[in-house]
Amino acid sequence: MRKYLYIFKSEIMTNIQYIGNVLFGFIGFFVMMFIFLNLWQAIYDDPNELIAGYNMNQTIWYVAITEVLWSIISGRKYTKKIVEDVKTGNITYNLNKPYSYIGYSIFNHLAGCFIRFLVYFILGLLLVFIFLGSFPSLDIVQILLVLLTIFLATLINTLLLTFIGLFSFIVEDSNPFYWVYSKLILVLGVMFPIEFFPPIVQTFINYSPIYVVSYGPARLFVNFNYSDFISIIIAQLIYLIISFLLCLLIYKKGVKKLNVNGG
Amino acid sequence: MLMEVKNQIKISLLSIKYAIMREMLNKISFITNIVFMIINNSTFIIQWVVLFSIKNDIGGYSLNEVLLLWGLASSSFGVSRFFFKKAFDLSTTINNGKLDSYLVQPKNVLLSVITTDVEPSALGDMLYGYIVLLIYGITFKLFLLFTLFSICSGLIITAITIIFNSLSFWFGKSDLLAEKMDGFMTSFATYPGGIFKGVTKWILLTIIPVGIANYMPVDVMRNFNLSYLLIILGFTIFIVTTAFIVFYKGLKRYSSSNLMIAKI
Amino acid sequence: MTIIKADHLYKTFRIKEKEKGFKGSLKAIFKPKYKTIKAVNNISFEVEKGEIIAFIGPNGAGKSTTIKMLTGILYPSKGEVSVLDINPIKNRKKLAYQIGTVFGQKEQLWTHLTPYDNFKFFGAIYDINEKVVEKKINEFRELFELDEFINVPVRNLSLGQRIRCEIVASLIHNPKVLFLDEPTIGLDPVVKENIRTLIKRLNKEYKTTIFLTSHDVGDIEKLCKRVIIINSGKVVLDDTMENLKYHYLNKKIVEVKMKEMVNLDNEKGITILKDKGYNLKIEVDTKKRSVADAIKLLNPDNILDINISNTPLEEIISDIYKKEAKK
C-alpha cells in the first residue's frame, strides 16, 4: 500500500505544477453555473415554488454539486490511456513490475481527482454561495458524510472507467463505451434532479451508476436525511465491490489472453 | 484586384478539397465520425423535453425554437470547425514558427494557414443543423436564412478565435484564452437568449457576441426583421475585418520585432 | 547583373531569460530579463545572376536568419536588402512570384497526394494557367527523372525523393532565384549527391540563381563557385571555391584500423593526430601528398577499416581567424 500512496503523492506533485490550468478550467465551470442560474431563474416563477419537490435554490445547488462532481471525476484521457495500453500491449510491460497495473493507474488518476477536488469543490461552492446567498442546512457531521459519499463516488467512477478501458481486451476499441457512459451521466445525472424525469426513467436511473456517482451525493447535499444516506452508502458499497471485482476479472482474463497470443 | 480575389478563393477551396481528400482516405472513420456527432448532438433533446414539460415558455422560447437555436449553434460550429479547423490552432502554428512556409507564397497568409485542415466530425454538426431545421419545419426561405446565418455565425466564431489566437504574436501563449473564449460562445449559444437579463444581455451583444451570432438570427427566422438582418451582416463583416487586421498587425510584429517568438 | 544585394544587414533578437523554479517563473512574468543576441551582425554581399552561392556556417551562425530576411519573412533591424530589385519588406508578395524557397525539411507538400497533384497545387498558388503547369511538369519529369514516383503519394516516397519533389514544387513558377535552406540536412551521402546533381542541372538549364545554406563543406565543394562563410552573424570569408579549396580544404582526415602497425613519422604531408597502435588518425595535406598515396603507405592489405573525411567547418573557420590574425 505504501508504494501506491507514494505514487499518489508524486502524481499530486506533478499535477500541482499545472494548477494554473486547473484554475483556468474553472472559468468554464463558472460560465456553466452562471447559465444554469439564469435558466432556473427563468423556469421558476417564484423561488419558493416546488418542482418535483425541489425549490429553486435546491435545484441550483443540486446542479452545482453534480457539475463539481463531474468536473472532478471525469476521465476521458484516463480511459483513453488504458485503451491505448491494452491495444499497444504496453500493459504487459508492467507485468514484471513490483506493483499492479490497476493499482498504479487508479492512484494516478485519483491524484488528479484530488487536485481538481480542491479547486472545484471549494471555489465551486463559494461561487454558488455568492450567486444564491444561502447554503443548504447541513451540520459538520453531515458535511463529512456527504464528503464520504463524494469520495466513494470518485472511487467507483475510477473503477468503472478502468473497467471500460480494460474492456478493450474484449472489443478492439472501447472508447465509444466511455462516450456512452459519460453521456448517460451528463444527460440523466447532471442537468437536474432525477425526480424531474418520468417514473420509468427514474427507476432505471436508480439502479444505474448514475445513482451512486452523481445523484446520491448531490441529493444528500441539498436535502440531507439519514435514511437516504444509509441507502446511498449501501448502494455505493455494492457498486464498489462489483466494479472492483469486474476490473480484476477482466484484467486477469485479458492478461492470460495476451500471454497465450504472445501480446 | 478582382482577379486576385478569384485566385485566392480558388486556392482556398482547393486547399479545403485536398484536406477533405486526406480525411477520406479512411472512409469508415470519416463516416463514423460524422454519424457519431449527429447522435451526440441529439442527446440534448432529452434535457429540453424535460425542461419544457415543466414550463412551456423558457425565456420566450418554445421547445421548437430551442431546437432551432440548437440547430443553428451546431451548424455554425460545424462551419467554423470544418472549413477553418486550423484557426483554432493558430497559436500553436505561430509559436512553432510554422508560418514561414506560408510567408514565402504570394497568397494571403491567414487564409492559407486556416484552410489546410478540416475536421470530419464538424460535417456531422453541420448536417445535424439541417436535420433539426427539417424537424422545425423547413421552407425555402427558412433554408436560405438558416444557411446564411450558419455561415455568418461560423465566420464570427472563426474571427473571434483568430483574434485571440493572434495575441500569441504579442504574448507568446494565448491558446488557453482563445479556447476559453470559444467555449463561452458555444456554451451560451445553446441556451435561450431570453433567460439573460440586464448587464449579461449587453455582454452577450458585445464581448461575447452570441447575441448577434445566434439569438438575433433565431429571432429573424421566427419573425423576419430587416434591421436585425443588417446588424448581423454588418457585424460579421466588421469582426472578420478586425480578425484580418489583428492577424496582420501581429504578423508584421513577428517579422520586425526583435523578440524571438519562435525557434528561429 | 546583381540579383541579390545585402547591405550592412543587422538582426538582433531578445530572448527572455527564465530563472529556475516557481520563483523564477513568477519573476519572469513581472520583471522579465532579456538577453540580446546578434543573429546577424553587419553582413554585406552581392550575388550575380546565374551564380550558385553557398552560404555556410556552423549551427546558429545566422544563415537561416539571413535567408529569412532575403525572402521577406523577417525584417532586418538595420540595413538594406534587395532581391531582383524588389524590397522584400515592402513587396513580399510581389517577390514571392519571382523566387522559390525550400526550407530544409519543413514540408510544404500534401503527403497524401502524388507529386503530380502537388505540383498542380503549387501551380495554382502562383496563378499559373493549368496547361502551362502541365507542360512544366513534363519538362521537369524528364530533366529530374521523376517518372518512377510522380504518381505515388508523397507519404510513400523515400526521404530523398521527397526532397527532390519539394525542390521541384518550388520551381513550378519559374523562379529567377532559388533559396535552399539546408537542403541536404540529415540525408545519406547517396541522396545528398543526388540532390546536388539536381541543383547543378537546374542552374545549368535555366540559369537560375541559387542561394544555398549549409553547414556541410562537402555540400558545396562540388556545387559552388563562390562561398560565403559566416560565423556568429559575421562574414568570415567571401571567396571563390577555388581559393577556399587551395587554402583551407587541402586537408583530409584519414582514420584507419590496421592489422599491423605502420610507422608514418617523418613522412611528407602527413601529420599524426592520434596514434593508438592499431588505430591511427592522420591528416593528409593534399597539396603535398595525395590521399591515394597516403593509403598506399599504409598498405591497403593491412587496412581493416578506413574513414576519410573533410576538415570540420569549425576548424576551417578557426584556421581563417588565425590567418587573419597573422596578417
pTM given for the model: 0.87
Between chain B and chain C, the number of residue pairs with CB atoms below 8 A apart is 72
Element of type H or E holding B128: helix B120-137
Coil, strand, or helix at residue C171? coil
Residue pair C30/C19 in contact by the 8 Å Cβ criterion: no
Q: Are C98 and C84 in contact (CB under 8 A)?
A: yes
Nearest chain B residue to C70, by CA: B104
Dihedral, B65, B67, B72, B74 alpha carbons, nearest 10: 160
Q: A148 CB near a chain B CB, below 8 Å? A: no
How much is the pLDDT for C26?
Answer: 65
How many angstroms separate the CA atoms of B215 and B192, rounded? 7
Q: Which of A93-102, B105-114, C5-14, C174-183 has the lowest mean pLDDT?
A: A93-102
C36 to chain B: closest CA residue: B258
How close, in Å, is residue A144 to chain B by CA atoms?
A: 32
The answer to whether residue B257 scores a pLDDT higher than 70 is no
Q: Do the Cβ atoms of A183 and B196 come within 8 Å?
A: no
Q: How far is B180 from chain A (nearest CA, A)?
A: 7
Domain coordinates in residue numbering, chain B = 2-251
For C12-67, write each residue's pLDDT tens digit.
887 777 666 666 666 666 677 777 888 899 999 999 999 999 888 888 888 889 99
Instruction: Give pLDDT tens digits for B169-217.
Output: 988 788 989 999 999 999 999 999 999 999 999 999 999 999 999 999 9
**Partner residue facing C12 (CB), from B22, B101, B258:** B258
Could you give the CA distance from residue B50 to residue A33 in angstroms, rounded to a whole number? 19
Q: Check CB contact of B263 with chain C, cutoff 8 Å.
A: no
**3-state SS, residue C205:** helix
Nearest to B184 among A31, A41, A196 (CB): A31
Chain B CA closest to residue C91: B106
Length of chain C measured in residues:
327
CA–CA distance, A122 with A72 (Å, rounded to integer) = 12
- What is the pLDDT confidence band of residue C118, given thresholds at 50, 70 and 90? very high
Residue B55: list chain A partners with CB under 8 A.
43
Q: Which residue of B has its CA nearest to A197?
A: B50
- Lowest mean pLDDT of A127-141, A217-231, B151-165, C182-196, name the range: C182-196
- Residue B72: which pLDDT band, with cuts at 50, 70 and 90? very high
Q: How far is CA B110 from the centre of its chain?
A: 16
Distance in angstroms between the alpha carbons of the first and the last residue of chain A: 29
Q: Which three cell numbers stand for residue A99?
A: 506493483
Q: Cβ of B48 under 8 Å from any chain A Cβ? A: no
What is the reported pLDDT for B262? Answer: 43
CB A54 within 8 Å of CB A222: yes
Return d(Cα C7, Cα C45) in angstroms, integer: 7
Q: How many CA atoms lie within 13 A of B44 on its CB side?
A: 19
Give contacts of B38 with chain A, Cβ < 8 Å: none
- Cα within 13 Å of Cα(B63), Cβ side: 14
- Split at pLDDT 50, 70, 90, the class of B149 is very high
Q: Is the dihedral of CA A249, A242, A144, A23 positive or negative?
A: positive
Three-class SS state of C239: strand
Q: Which of B256, B258, B259, B261 to mutate to test the interface with C (most CBs of C within 10 A)?
A: B258
The answer to whether the beta carbons of residues C203 and C50 sit under 8 Å apart is: yes
Quick one: cell of B102? 506560408
Let me know: does C239 contact C56? Beta carbons within 8 Å: no
Look at the block and give the residue holding cell 450567486. Answer: A131
CB contact, 8 Å: A39 with chain B? yes
Name the closest residue on chain B to residue A176, using Cα atoms: B36
Q: How confident is the model at residue A120 (pLDDT cuts 50, 70, 90)?
A: very high
3-class SS of residue B259: strand
Q: B101 — contact with chain C (CB < 8 Å)?
A: yes
pLDDT exceeds cutoff 80 at A53: yes
Mean pLDDT within C311-324: 75
Q: Are B120 and B30 in contact (CB under 8 A)?
A: yes
In chain B, the N- to C-terminal Cα span, in Å, equals: 34
Amino acid C319: pLDDT: 78
Q: Is B11 touching C (CB cutoff 8 A)? A: yes
Cell numbers for B65: 425554437
Choose, out of A43, A56, A180, the residue to mutate when testing the contact with B (most B CBs < 10 Å).
A43
Q: Give C220's contacts (C-beta < 8 A, 6+ positions apart).
A: C54, C56, C212, C214, C227, C241
| Whether C73 and B103 lie within 8 Å, measured CB to CB | yes
What is the signed CA dihedral for A27, A28, A31, A33, rounded to 10 degrees? -100
- Buried b / exposed e over A50-76, threshold 16 CB at 10 Å, is ebeebbbbbbbbbbbbbbbbbbbbbbe
Q: For chain C, say whether B1 makes contact (Cβ under 8 Å).
A: no
Q: What is the mean pLDDT of residues A87-103?
A: 80
B44 chain-A contacts, CB cut-off 8 A: 187
Q: Per the CB < 8 Å rule, is B105 touching C96?
A: yes
DSSP letter for B58, please: B
CA distance linking residue A33 with residue A42, whole number of Å: 14
Helix/strand/coil for B235: helix
User: What is the CA C134 to chain-centroid distance, rounded?
Assistant: 30
What ipTM goes with this model?
0.90
- SS3 for chain A, per residue? CHHHHHHHHHHHHHHHCCHHHHHHHHHHHHHHHHHHHHHHHHHCCCCCCCECCECHHHHHHHHHHHHHHHHHHCCHHHHHHHHHHHHHCHHHHCCCCCCCHHHHHHHHHHHHHHHHHHHHHHHHHHHHHHHHCCCCCCCHHHHHHHHHHHHHHHHHHHHHHHHHHHHHHCCCCCHHHHHHHHHHHHHHHHCCCHHHCCHHHHHHHHHCHHHHHHHHHHHHHHCCCHHHHHHHHHHHHHHHHHHHHHHHHHHHHHHHHHHHHCC
A13-42 residue pLDDT tens: 877 777 888 888 899 999 999 999 999 999
Q: What is the pLDDT of residues C132-167, one digit of tens each?
A: 999 999 999 988 889 999 999 999 998 888 888 999
The residue to which cell 588505430 is assigned: C279
Predicted confidence at residue B260, as pLDDT, reads 56
How far apart are the C-alpha atoms of B128 and B134, rounded to whole Å? 10
Within an 8 Å CB–CB cutoff, is residue B6 touching chain C? no
